[in-house]
Structures are given as structure tokens and as C-alpha cells.
Amino acid sequence: MTFVATRRASLKAVGGALATVIARQSASAAAIPFDRWIAAFRAKALAHGISDETYSRVMRSVQPDTAGLEAMHDQPEFKLKLWQYLNRAVSDWKVAAGKEMAKRYAPLLSRIEKDFGVEPAFMLGVWGIESAFGDPIVAKNHLHPVIPSLATLAWAAPRRRAYWQQELINALTIVQRGWSTPAEMVGSWAGAMGHTQWMPEVWLHIGIDYDHDGKISPYGPPDDALGSTARFFVERGHYRRGEHWGYEVRLPAAHGGNVSRSYKAWQARGVVRADGASYPQPNAMARPWAPEPGGPAFLLGQNFFAARSYNPSTTYALALCYLGDRCVGGAPLVQKFPGSEPPPTLAEIEEIQRRLTALGFDTGIVDGRIGNATTLAVRNYQRKAGIAPADGYAGVGLLARLRKGS
């Protein structure tokens, strides 16, 4: 998951942002004021099964949140190197939190493995990547109320407005069913929400009542979210019971090509695990992947591609699998990426935030979590200091530069 900056604007600033966003559109999507649109949308919501009482209760005090509209136009692209992405996704504090969650929820994770075959490490990986294990500081400082976000997109998004309108109705359906409350429903600017960051439609159609309390809740205890996500991996990602996602390996130059072979066959070709251990399932199939010359290499099994079914990015899938392994006691990667740095600690990120803010580069809040505000502050500092590339990466190298400058 990518955390968005905290909404800090007053209603006056929101109005100004709206005017700016709407002015950018060649044909104004928001042809009527927001409050009039809310009143007009009632009929469509009621036609899709939302009660008049639910609509009034949830929508009468909703104010527009323009974060999504602004992101569509201005969302910066930060092209991190793979090692930088992994350092952010598999940070020291997240590994520590994941180990604590592995202990706290061991019975739940064991039940999921028994019912769906998805191993605890894999579930911890997706939970940590998507919501930092439901971390309340992340929710408070980096997420948006879902109903205002979706209502604003449904009202004024320049593209896919029918999609946003349907997702708003889906979110109202979740409230009407008693699965969650508007105050509880926070998520990304696009409306992804809960422990594993699903859009409302997915909660309605894939979610299961795993704790048998009569509702399917994206929030609160993680039972429903993790059980539902395990179901997703099996049904959509074709997760294979009893197989690990893959392993870091030492890949000789003449390893036999980018094809799928059994681990036993790869070992016969000199492809051994980087930590020197044996392959637990020698007959399982895997294919090689060397993401960067001179860096770590991997053999990838089917369950790596199950991770990719959640987000079609090999970088994301590697982060999910690697974080999961670290949360259950796995060691860091044996081989290093060229030019890489160790991941910054929580205290080091907080120091970066304090130092940048003191220099006039506002990070939003000092919380040790990397959101859009911190990333933008880093990039603006890098540009002013002549650091290239200005990639927005908050790491130990940047901290050394900030300390030297002070």
C-alpha cells in the first residue's frame, strides 16, 4: 500500500483546491455544487437498495475531500530503485511489528493455514504491506475518510465516474449492513480500506464472515480481512498449499535459461540457495529471476505469482514475500544490491522528518512513517540541494547529508 498525505486543509482551502481542480477539466465534471449533487444522488442510491434513513444519516454532513481529484492530476512518480522500495516496505519497525503480530494472532494464522493452505508468513506479508498491520498511527495520520473520498470522486472525477458512483453505493451498503461505520471507514484517496485495503465492491463479493459474528468487517479484529484475503489468494491467485513462494539463490551465468524446472533440477544446474540450506520441496516447480545485475537472484514458485495477483508488480510481490519471511524469523537477504543502504530505523525516519521540517520542508507530521508529505519534502530538499536523482527516498544516506548540513 502507498500511504497518502494527511488531509490538513480547512473548508476554505478545500474550496480553493476544488476550484483549481475543476478549472483543469476541459468540460466541468462538477456541473452542480457538491451539496446539490448529494441531494440529487439520493435517488440513484435508493434505486440500488440504500434506505432513505441510511443515506440521510451518512451523507447529510459529508464535505468534499479533493485528495483523489488532486492525485489524478498531480500524483508524483517516485521511481525508487528496488533496494529502496524494499527498505521502505520491509523496514525495521515493520518487521518488529510483524513479529509481534505473528505471536498475537498465531491461532488465527494457524486456522487460516488449515482452512486455506496459505502459510502465516504470506498472510503477514500482505497485511504488513497493505496497512502496516492496521497500525493506528498510519490510520490517523495518513488515511482519508472513505465516504467523502468516494463521494467527491463520484461527483467530479474526470474519468470513470460511473465506477466511483458504484463504489460509493457499495460503501453505503457496507454501512447499511452494519459491517462498519462511516467514522471507522478510512482508507486511501481512492477508497481502498481495511486491514488488506480492498475496495468496497471486493468486500461485498469476496469477503467472508470468518469470525462468525454476523458481519464481514474490514476493520476491528483482523479475522474477516485475513480470512477473506486467504480466500482471494486461493481462488484468484491459485495459491498452492504446502509450497513456499521461492528462495534467494546464487545464480550462475550458465544456469539454463528462464524456464520453469523443479528445485531439484535447478540444484543439479548449480542453482543453490544463498543461505546454503536445502530446498524443502525439491519436486516443486520454480523459475529464475535476477531483477538487477550484481544483486540478489531468486527462484520463484507459483505462490510468488499468487502474490502478484494482488498487485501486478514483481517488485510488490517480492516485498510482500520478503516481509512475510522476515516476520516469522527469516534473515535479511544474503546478497546485496549494488549501491544499497541498510534500511533506516523508525528513530532515523523521525529524525529525517524533524530535520526537514526545521529546514522548511514540511513533512506533515513526525511519526516515523513514510507518507506522501515526507516523500515530497525529501524530493524538494534534494532538488534545492542539487542531489540527483531527486527520488524522494528517505534513507540513511539522506540523514547523513542532513546531519552534515546542520
The DSSP H or E segment spanning 166 is helix 161-176
Question: Rounded to whole angstroms, what are the CA distances from 389 to 29, 153, 226, 379, 386?
Answer: 37, 33, 38, 9, 9
Question: What pLDDT, on a 0 to 100 scale, did the predictor assign at position 232?
Answer: 96
Kindly state the cell numbers that stand for 169.
453505493
Look at the pTM and tell me if it is higher than 0.85.
yes
Kindly state the cell numbers that stand for 47.
434505486
Is 99 exposed, middle or buried (CB count within 10 Å of its CB: 0-12, 13-18, 19+)?
A: middle
In 3D, which of 209, 171, 210, 175 has the Cα closest to residue 188? 171
Kindly state the cell numbers that stand for 26.
476541459
Q: Which residue has the cell 476554505?
A: 12
Whether the predicted pLDDT of 250 surpasses 90: yes
Question: What pLDDT, on a 0 to 100 scale, did the predictor assign at position 7?
Answer: 25
Strands 246-250, 297-300: parallel, antiparallel or unpaired by DSSP? antiparallel
3-state secondary structure of 311: coil
Edge-to-edge strand list for the sheet holding 297-300: 261-262, 285-289, 297-300, 246-250, 272-273
Strand partners, 144: 187
3-state secondary structure of 79: coil
Question: What pLDDT, on a 0 to 100 scale, did the predictor assign at position 30?
Answer: 54
**Looking at domain 11-76+145-206, which CATH architecture does it have?**
Orthogonal Bundle (1.10)
- What are the tens digits of pLDDT across the range 139-151? 888 888 999 999 9
Kindly state the cell numbers that stand for 406.
546542520
Give domain 346-405's CATH number out of 1.10.3470, 1.10.101, 2.60.40, 3.40.50.
Answer: 1.10.101
In 3D, which of 328, 332, 281 has the Cα closest to residue 303? 281
Question: What pLDDT, on a 0 to 100 scale, did the predictor assign at position 399?
Answer: 97
**How far is it, in rounded angstroms, from Cα 125 to Cα 244?**
13
Instruction: Report, in angstroms and rounded to the nearest whole number, the Rg of the chain calculated over CA atoms.
Output: 23
Handedness of CA 250, 254, 258, 263 (dihedral sign): negative
In 3D, which of 372, 389, 394 has the Cα closest to residue 75? 372
Are 147 and 58 in contact by the 8 Å Cβ rule? The answer is: yes
Whether the predicted pLDDT of 228 surpasses 80: yes
Question: What pLDDT, on a 0 to 100 scale, did the predictor assign at position 157?
Answer: 86
Rounded average pLDDT over 85-94:
94
- What are the tens digits of pLDDT across the range 333-390? 999 999 999 999 999 999 999 999 999 999 988 999 998 889 999 999 999 999 999 9
Task: Compute the C-alpha angle 107/113/114, nearest 5°.
Answer: 90
- What are the tens digits of pLDDT across the range 10-69? 223 333 344 444 444 433 445 689 999 999 999 999 999 999 999 999 999 999 987 767
Show me where the domains of the chain are located. 11-76+145-206, 246-296, 346-405
- What are the tens digits of pLDDT across the range 167-226? 999 999 999 999 999 999 999 888 999 999 999 999 999 999 999 999 999 999 999 999
The DSSP H or E segment spanning 352 is helix 346-358
Handedness of CA 276, 281, 287, 291 (dihedral sign): negative
**How far is it, in rounded angstroms, from Cα 318 to Cα 326?**
12
**How far is it, in rounded angstroms, from Cα 48 to Cα 166?**
9
Residue 306 CA, distance from chain mean position: 16
Are 198 and 206 in contact by the 8 Å Cβ rule? The answer is: yes
Residue type, 95: V
